[in-house]
Structure 1
């Protein structure tokens, strides 16, 4: 279990806490942002905004949740803000997530097929409404529990369950419409 940094009111202490939070959660938050926006440059900008916001509000953090939950919430909100922008709504993008390739044990054909499958799934997830995409990404890609998702999203666990179920159904329907093979 990761120990949460202690809060102090001094600026030097806040900088130390921020550095520790960046080291502990930076990569995780970047993965979350990338799954939401599918743009490496934009996700890096979002994470920078997350940590600026974190630094500016460290003294207001009241330990009602963990730093991890707090940073996840900030990240998701920043991603939502980005997706509300006109430029995001009006640009068609292709997801950039690539599967891990193992050229030593898989044939090129298998690697290609796995990459195509992964691209179809990521594209289908990116087309879902935000409330379904959000819980699917946290549950499957971040491997968060329903309780953690509930805390991060500030929704009830039953709402998380219903969104997961509905999101899976919508995803399955979209993939079937695209002719995706489930074997």
Structure 2
């Protein structure tokens, strides 16, 4: 990553932060969303990541890969949120509300169903986390198997197996909905 600073001034730090926010903000939010499935919560996670980045500005030159570091932060923070008591309590309690809710899909899910690409995204979000994270990193973030290994700290063969199983699960989900992959 190109550095913008000469003398470690506050202005350079602020400029650098704006640059990484522009470059990584949307991708990190989507990555966090893939874990927590709540856009506002994903935005909060990313905001926390940028604060951490800003605080570690002086140590950035010591990193081998800034992209790997910031993605690792996003993954870890998202997993921390999933493990947190408050998140589990909200998720469990929200299931009670589903008993009283309408049988119609919420507007955001209705939009996801409108195109094949959006439907695929919906299916990816339906995968268990261990498959969703490798599918997202490999296909959406275009990370190599080696990069994914560094990000989630899992053996390369395990990553390949999860990719394969994730693809099979996606195929089955899409076939159940009548999508067979053929273009009209």
Q: TM-score, normalised by structure 1?
A: 0.70
Where structure 2 has 5 or more consecutive residues not aligned to the other structure, the ranges are 96-104
Deviations 1:80-134 (A, max 9, x none): 23333215633479694867xxxxxxxxxxxxxx824334322322222211100
| Structure 1 segment 20-169 matched on structure 2, within 5 A | 20-59=19-58, 63-84=62-83, 85-87=87-89, 89-90=91-92, 91=94, 96=108, 115-169=114-168
Measured in 2, the distance between the counterparts of 1:43 and 1:7 equals 33
Measured in 2, the distance between the counterparts of 1:24 and 1:120 equals 26
Distance 1:4 1:167, change over 3 A: farther
Partner SS, residue 114 of structure 2 = helix
Partner SS, residue 115 of structure 1 = coil
Q: TM-score, normalised by structure 2?
A: 0.70
1:82, 1:88 within 8 Å by CA — same for their partners in 2? no
2:123, 2:170 within 8 Å by CA — same for their partners in 1? yes
Where structure 1 has 5 or more consecutive residues not aligned to the other structure, the ranges are 100-113
| Number of residues of Structure 1 aligned to a counterpart in Structure 2 | 168
Q: Which moved more, 1:87-96 or 1:148-157?
A: 87-96
Measured in 2, the distance between the counterparts of 1:34 and 1:74 equals 14
2:13, 2:54 within 8 Å by CA — same for their partners in 1? yes
